[in-house]
Amino acid sequence: MISKLKEIYRFKYLAYNLVSRDLKVKYKGSILGFFWSLLNPLVMLIVYTLAFKYIIRIRVENFPIFFLCAFLPWSFLSSSLSMSVGSIKDNANLVKKVYFSREVLPLSIVLSNLIQFLLTFIILIPALLFFKIKLGIPLAAVPLIILFQTAFTIGLAYIVSSLNVFFSDVKHLLEILLQVWFWLTPIIYPANFVPERYQFLYRLNPAVLFVESYRDSLLYNKMPSISSFIALFIIGFVVLTIGHLVFTLYNKRFAEEI
Amino acid sequence: MDIISIRNVSKKFRLYHEKNFNIKYAALNFITRKKTSYYDKFWALKNINLNITKGETIGIIGENGSGKSTLLKIIAGILYPDDGEISKKGKIAALIEVGAGFHYELSGRENIYINASILGFSKKEIDANLEKIIAFSGLKQFIDNPIKTYSSGMYLRLGFSIAIHVNPDILLVDEVLAVGDENFQKKCLQKIDRFRNQGKTIVLVSHDLSTIEKMCDRVVLLDNGMMLSDGNPIDVISQYHKILYEKEKRISIPEQGEPSKEETPQADEIRRWGSKEVEINRIEFLNEKDTPQDTVKTGDFIKVRIHYFAKKRIKNPVFGVAFYREDGIHLNGPNTKTSDYHIASIEGKGFIDYIIHSLPFQPGIYFITVAIVDFLCLFDYDHWHRCFTLNIIENEKIKEKNGVVHISAEWRHHGQG
């Protein structure tokens, strides 16, 4: 495991290149540049606010903020996964002809999405101030939650990208699963809307805990409980470990199956 | 010290029946609990054992599909063996395909950074070598152009230049040198040679047998995934020629009876192959008076007489000879066709003379190949590859000692005074 990490670390400059290329390609040549990546959550914000606050009339205080605190981390997760699922297969030429730590491929996608996620705080923080949300010490929990979510995301990215090499349906399946997962996560509604008798089942979805922890510390000025932290830590690193094992196992046959 | 050690390595590929093996099949397989396989197994390598010592240059030869590239990719770490073990020490740079990982929209300079980072190098290491890489590639004036404007030769130059300047301990090269122009090829070979002298390890895969012979200390011959031999370049390459010849024959003459005695290779016959419809019985080195010579001097008249016996009438045969220096340099290789000397047919006993009026080679031991082939020079009747030796000794009348040849020539001065 340690030597593997060292080997991945050897290719840090490759990861850096892939991330910066990804960001450059994304924003180069467009007038709005980086603001495109802010525009998407903004449009979503407007659409969902209109739909849920004014049409469906969901009764949630500060709906736009309530939505953003969950939607931004969710976008980090879902776009990381939908972009990394093809990362090995799309680089067939490299995988077949050059030796390098292939972990770098999904890893760099997650990292570039992480950077974009962090940049969206540029709109989140002013929005919090605009809605006069009380901010306090619980904000300090946010970096930790982000860390655990990143571990969780990397683990899943490892799994989907390596499975996709062997089964091309994984990509399509993932699209559907992400849709389902979106609605099963309290992004546009609070978790307590779910009937009491389904709560246990509902909370098996790890994203619920992530989203609630973000909301607690950003919106409700409430420190997540120690048990939530421990749970998030375990979820993040167990998934990362499983992902790593799956990836290492399948990695051996990448070059011939791709 | 073994820098690469390969023990009992086998590699199996799966050939899927369905082009898109998908979850449906996997699920069906799981539900029905049937072990129906959706693929055939194909052994690309079987039980390979190979130890490579630091500083060695190894050539891997064999036909297409013999497993050469698979072996190289296993050494590189791109493929993993299904069986056996491989251990390696040191940094590896593999040139398996030039331009793998190039980004066509980006400039040559940007691609140097990206390509070297794929090989695992840091920005600092690349910065330190950037100028050298550009200089060696000879692409200075194009380096800031997007590489989609480059020719395939230019890709090669850039790719090779990067791989060789990142200072690996082990360099793996697969066939890529075939792309470049002659000048650049020469530059690459010189660089590889310098690499060898620095005690670095090189593994070459190539169809270009003359390069392999020149460059390598050892050659490995693969056939159908098995290692047929591992030894000095001349012997292994001759064995390869022989195998190719045998296969060719099986295709061109499908109705073969029992293999005759001649077909079983004998130890001393390893450098001889051919259909033997005409056989070369012996060769002689003769002087002007047709007396056989053991040794000859530089500048001497010499006749190489090739005695043959044709079992049946052969139309348009071509006779050839070739001289090799002791270190393997191929000096010449004339044949009757290139010399426009046409022989309508041969049958029974006979001989042909290759007459050298003034032997140009400086003293030393020389190896000679003689062969009789068909008119298209594709089919060997009898080929003796470097089977004969000629000992050339010093000629007291010739004072010129520099270099490798003595050309029969003269000086003439035109000038004042």
pLDDT-based confidence at residue A103 (cuts at 50, 70, 90) = very high
Q: Is B403 part of any domain?
A: no
pLDDT at A118 over 90: yes
**What is residue B254's predicted lDDT score, i.e. its pLDDT?**
44
B142 and B291 housed in the same domain: no
Mean pLDDT over all residues of chain B? Answer: 84
Which of A11-25, A85-99, B396-410 has the least mean pLDDT? A11-25
CB-CB neighbors (< 8 A) of B21 in chain A = 166-167
**What is residue B23's predicted lDDT score, i.e. its pLDDT?**
67
CB atoms within 10 A of CB A112: 22
Burial of A136 (0-12, 13-18, 19+ CB in 10 A): exposed
**What is residue B307's predicted lDDT score, i.e. its pLDDT?**
93
Number of H helices, E strands in chain B: 8, 18
Number of domains in chain B: 2
pLDDT at B265 over 70: no
**What is residue A14's predicted lDDT score, i.e. its pLDDT?**
86
Burial of B120 (0-12, 13-18, 19+ CB in 10 A): buried
The percentage of chain A sitting over the pLDDT mark of 90, rounded to a whole number, equals 60
B40 and B163 housed in the same domain: yes
B229 and B290 housed in the same domain: no
At position B82, the amino acid (one-letter code) is: D
User: Distance (Å, rounded) from C-alpha B237 to C-alpha B143?
Assistant: 40
Pairing of strands B295-297, B278-286: unpaired
B145 and B9 housed in the same domain: yes
User: Distance (Å, rounded) from C-alpha B340 to C-alpha A92?
Assistant: 52
B215 and B364 housed in the same domain: no
Please write the tens of the pLDDT for every residue from B313-345.
Answer: 999 999 999 998 877 788 999 999 999 999 999
Structure tokens given for A23: 């960001």
Subunit contact B80:A93, Cβ cutoff 8 A = no
User: Distance (Å, rounded) from C-alpha B21 to C-alpha A234?
Assistant: 35
B34 and B163 housed in the same domain: yes
Q: Is B276 part of any domain?
A: yes
- What ipTM was estimated for this complex? 0.81
Q: Is B405 part of any domain?
A: no
Dihedral, B173, B178, B179, B182 alpha carbons, nearest 10: 120
CB-CB neighbors (< 8 A) of B101 in chain A = 93-94, 97-98
Q: Comparing C-alpha atoms, which of B360, B368, B365 is closest to residue B403?
A: B360
Residue B307 belongs to domain spanning = 271-393
B170 and B285 housed in the same domain: no
Please write the tens of the pLDDT for every residue from B50-60.
Answer: 999 998 999 99
Dihedral, A227, A233, A234, A238 alpha carbons, nearest 10: 170
B148 and B41 housed in the same domain: yes
pLDDT at A203 over 90: yes
Residue A249 belongs to domain spanning = 2-257
User: Which one of A208-212, B77-81, B282-286 scores highest in mean pLDDT?
Assistant: A208-212
B153 SS3 class: helix
The percentage of chain B sitting over the pLDDT mark of 70, rounded to a whole number, equals 88
At position B89, the amino acid (one-letter code) is: K
B281 and B217 housed in the same domain: no
Please measure the distance between the N-terminal and C-terminal CA atoms of chain B and give it in whole angstroms.
66
User: Distance (Å, rounded) from C-alpha A107 to C-alpha A84?
Assistant: 8
Number of domains in chain A: 1
Structure tokens given for B291: 């007396």
Closest alpha carbon within chain B to A248:
B80
Q: Is B416 part of any domain?
A: no
Please write the tens of the pLDDT for every residue from B193-233.
Answer: 888 888 899 999 988 888 888 888 999 999 989 999 999 99
User: Distance (Å, rounded) from C-alpha B88 to C-alpha B52?
Assistant: 9
Contact B220, B229 (CB under 8 A): yes
B118: nearest CB among A16, A100, A253: A100
B101: nearest CB among A94, A166, A255: A94
Contact A71, A183 (CB under 8 A): no
A97: nearest CB among B24, B97, B121: B97
A14: nearest CB among B13, B26, B117: B117
Dihedral, A46, A49, A50, A52 alpha carbons, nearest 10: 150
Q: Residues near A189 by Cβ (< 8 Å), separated by ≥ 6? A: A52, A58, A60
Contact B357, B351 (CB under 8 A): no
Closest alpha carbon within chain A to B113:
A17
User: Distance (Å, rounded) from C-alpha B249 to C-alpha A53?
Assistant: 83
Q: Where are the alpha helices (DSSP H) in B180-303?
A: 182-197, 209-215, 233-252
Subunit contact B101:A93, Cβ cutoff 8 A = yes
Final residue of a domain: which of B215, B234, B253?
B234
At position A38, the amino acid (one-letter code) is: L
* Residue A55 DSSP one-character state: I
Pairing of strands B92-95, B345-356: unpaired
Contact A86, A159 (CB under 8 A): no
B167 and B298 housed in the same domain: no
Closest alpha carbon within chain A to B77:
A99
CATH of the domain at B152: 3.40.50.300
B137 and B203 housed in the same domain: yes
Which of A155-164, A238-247, B131-140 has the least mean pLDDT? B131-140
B227 and B291 housed in the same domain: no
pTM of the model as a whole = 0.74
**What is residue B260's predicted lDDT score, i.e. its pLDDT?**
39
Subunit contact B78:A95, Cβ cutoff 8 A = yes
Q: Is B302 part of any domain?
A: yes
Give the DSSP per-residue string, B230-255: EE-HHHHHHHHHHHHHHHHHHHH---
